[in-house]
Chain A
């Protein structure tokens, strides 16, 4: 019995030794025990800043970020920075794992952010709504890549994606009210009017749809989408000539790339050239 145990122990030692030898080049003997919390924070942020100057997802950037995380595991910015290359490469499991670490440390800052990514990159409307509901008990705006987004607006998009048009309408209306009170109308996202127009088109309330769409066209940067959906609404009201004028404007803006789009993802009710051509052809039949 004793001999068996001794042999087993020796074999285990050999196996562990082999594993360690294999991992030698990945074994680091850095030590941060002598640093206090402030020093760890400072040095970790310095490595984070360095990593941001390197190519996203490159081996150098990832190693630098991991070093920043080892120095200060509570640096939530590092975890979320580690997540981005996985997201951009469709490696959602690893993206989520890193984001969860950031949220664990600072849910107020990152849960809404994760909701934004779920909404825009993953079209996970239910998952995004869950994050926004958790978020806006504390804040009403979410920051992503330097821009602020209203949770009312983002929840409107979620409800739209879930085809809950009544709740979507309430959220977008709340967004318009809140933004108008805060900063005046010029900063309102024109797509809110487009989506409200679409909700009413779906309910076959074409005149109400036009109220919103035309309001959107008064904004600083009118979108081809607003003209396109207004053309459709006019067409459904029997106004073929007006519809033709709107679709002509829509095509001009579309060619000038002034339509609702994102660089890496499609948006809800993404407008394509084929949509404009098809509607124009239908309108022409009635002119």
Chain B
């Protein structure tokens, strides 16, 4: 008994980054319930249809710091892009500049999510002639309330 080690192990039922479908996600449907592929596996980038520069321009033009000037860090929205190129099923992560969890003011997070939801044209994950559902993400880098970068 004294030579036995006991470890609690992670079961890892799903791939890292997998997003389960939320029941509250009205109107959004994936093409295949079981298979969501990570976007970085695609050779053709999974991204906004009109290009990264359009995406950045859109957010920089429409972003409003809601009077917040004392918060910095990263707000990441992870979501599914279905095979038709529409997005839904959000999961939100908020981190400080030290990469530890942090709570941003809710109005700011809601504002960014609303801006994101207005974008409906995305390039779906493709392999050959087929398109698939994939999970993808966008991170907003905030510096003293200002939007300074959009990753990746």
Residues of A whose CB lies within 8 Å of any CB of B are 23, 25-34, 55, 57-59, 62-63, 66, 70, 85-86, 88-93, 95-96, 121-124, 127, 263-266, 270, 272-275
Complex: A62 Cα to B13 Cα, angstroms: 10
Q: Out of A23, A85, A270, A274, name the residue touching B16 (CB < 8 Å).
A: A85
Instruction: Return chain A residues, CB-CB under 8 Å to B141.
Output: 122-123
Which listed residue, A26, A29, A88, A96, touches B4 by the CB 8 Å rule? A29
B76 part of interface (Cβ distance < 8 Å): yes
**Could you tell me the distance between the alpha carbons of A124 and B142 in the complex, rounded to whole angstroms?**
11
Nearest 8 interchain pairs by C-beta: A89-B17, A90-B137, A57-B16, A85-B16, A59-B12, A96-B99, A272-B53, A62-B12
Q: How far is the CB of A44 from chain B (nearest CB, A)?
A: 14
| Complexed CA–CA distance, A59 and B10 (Å) | 9
Chain A residues, CB < 8 A from B149:
123
Q: Give the residues in chain A near B74, CB-CB below 8 Å.
A: 92, 122
With CB as the reference atom, state the residue of chain B lying closest to A63.
B12
Q: A121-B152, A265-B151 are in contact. Are A90 and B139 (CB under 8 A)?
A: yes
| B108 contacts chain A at the CB level, 8 A cutoff | no
Q: Closest residue to A25 on the B side, CB-wise?
A: B11
Closest to A32 in B: B5
User: How many Å lie between the Cα of A28 and that of B12 in the bound state?
Assistant: 14
Q: Which residue of B lies closest to A85 (CB)?
A: B16
B10 closest partner in A (C-beta):
A66
Q: How many Å lie between the Cα of A272 and that of B47 in the bound state?
A: 15
Complex formed: what's the CA distance from A9 to B95 in Å? 40
Contact B97 A266 (CB under 8 A): no
Complex CA gap A90/B16 in Å reads: 10
Which residues on B are within 8 Å of A, measured CB to CB?
Answer: 3-17, 38, 40, 45, 51-53, 74, 76, 78, 93, 95, 97, 99-101, 135, 137-139, 141, 148-149, 151-152
- Taking CB atoms, residues of chain B closer than 8 Å to A27 are 6-9
Q: Assess the B8–A264 pair: CB atoms within 8 A.
A: no
Measured between beta carbons, the chain B residues less than 8 angstroms from A92 are: 74, 76, 93, 95, 99, 139
- Which of chain B's residues have a CB closer than 8 A to the CB of A93? 93, 95, 99-101
Q: How far is the CA of A281 from the CA of B149 in the complex (A)?
A: 28
Expressed in whole angstroms, the Cα–Cα distance for A121 and B38 within the complex equals 17
| A30 surroundings in chain B (CB, below 8 A) | 5, 7
Query: Which residue, of A23, A93, A264, has the highest number of chain B Cβ atoms within 10 A?
Result: A93
| Contact present for A91 and B16 (CB under 8 Å) | yes
Among B38, B76, B95, B97, which residue has its beta carbon within 8 angstroms of that of A57?
A: B38
Chain A contacts for B16, CB-based, 8 A:
57, 62, 85-86, 89, 91
Complex interface: chain A residues within 8 A of B152 (CB): 90, 121, 264-266
Which residue of A has the minimal Cβ distance to B77?
A: A90
A89 touches B78 (CB 8 A): yes
Q: Which residues of chain B come closer than 8 Å to A272, judged between CB atoms?
A: 51-53
User: Which residues of chain B are within 8 angstroms of A123 by Cβ–Cβ distance?
Assistant: 141, 148-149, 151
Bound CA span A89–B138, Å: 10
Known A-B contacts A88-B38, A92-B95, A266-B152; A59 and B5 likewise in contact (beta carbons under 8 Å):
no
Contact A23 B8, CB 8 Å, known A88-B38, A91-B93: yes
Are B5 and A29 in touch, CB under 8 angstroms? Answer: yes
Most-contacted residue by chain B among A70, A86, A265, A266 (CB, 10 A):
A266
Q: Which residues of B contact A274 (CB under 8 A)?
A: 53
B13:A70 contact, CB within 8 angstroms:
no
Q: Which residues of B contact A263 (CB under 8 A)?
A: 45
Complex-state Cα separation, A270 to B54, whole angstroms: 13
**In the complex, which residue of chain A has the Cβ closest to the Cβ of B40?**
A88
A32 and B6 alpha carbons, distance in the complex (Å): 10
Distance A32 CA – B16 CA, assembled complex (angstroms): 27
| Complex contact A270–B52 (CB within 8 A) | yes
Distance, CA A170 to CA B13, complexed state (A):
50
Q: Are B7 and A28 in contact (CB under 8 A)?
A: yes
